[in-house]
Amino acid sequence: MERTLAILKPDCVGAKKAGKVLARIEEAGFRVVAMKMVRLNAETAGQFYAVHKERPFYGELVEFMASDRCIPVVLEKENAVADFRTLIGATDPAEADEGTIRKEFATSKAFNIVHGSDSPENAKIEINFFFSEKELVETA
């Protein structure tokens, strides 16, 4: 069983779409292993997105992620990383396939509603960023 990290971003939480997005995730066969609401500050958001530090959008991304609450969620499923990336769709909702979360809920490339780990290796790192081992609930 594989795990991945999703983050319901500030645009998702602020627009009161978290319940609808979580329902879509569960309907797609993912199990929630851990979930909590947090408010990142600029330093913490910067640490999480440090991999993008040299990219032109880094400052805006950090500012956005620190702008309001977000909900990190650990998901479990066979092929969780790839299946979740397919479920959420392309970063730019205008390019996302019909039926994906970003196509339905996101408003722009910058406000794309949800983060998803891009590899099983990064999923482990990202999960550990937000959750301790004791917060991960084993599923049956």
Q: Which of 33, 34, 115, 116 is an active site residue? A: 115
Per DSSP, the three-state class of 32 is strand
- For 8, the enclosing helix (H) or strand (E) is strand 2-8
Phi/psi for 85 (5° steps) reads -60, -40
- For 86, the enclosing helix (H) or strand (E) is helix 80-88
Interatomic CA distance for residues 24 and 74, integer angstroms: 15
Instruction: Output the CATH code of domain 2-135.
Output: 3.30.70.141
- Using one digit for the tens of pLDDT, what is the confidence trace for 13-31? 999 999 999 999 999 999 9
pLDDT at 33 over 90: yes
52 is catalytic: no
Q: State residue 137's pLDDT score.
A: 82
- Look at the block and give the residue holding tokens 């408010």: 39
Average pLDDT over residues 68-97: 96
Percent of the chain with pLDDT over 90: 83
Confidence (pTM): 0.90
122: its two tokens: 């990064």
- Look at the block and give the residue holding tokens 């290796």: 121
CB-based contact 100:89 (threshold 8 Å): yes
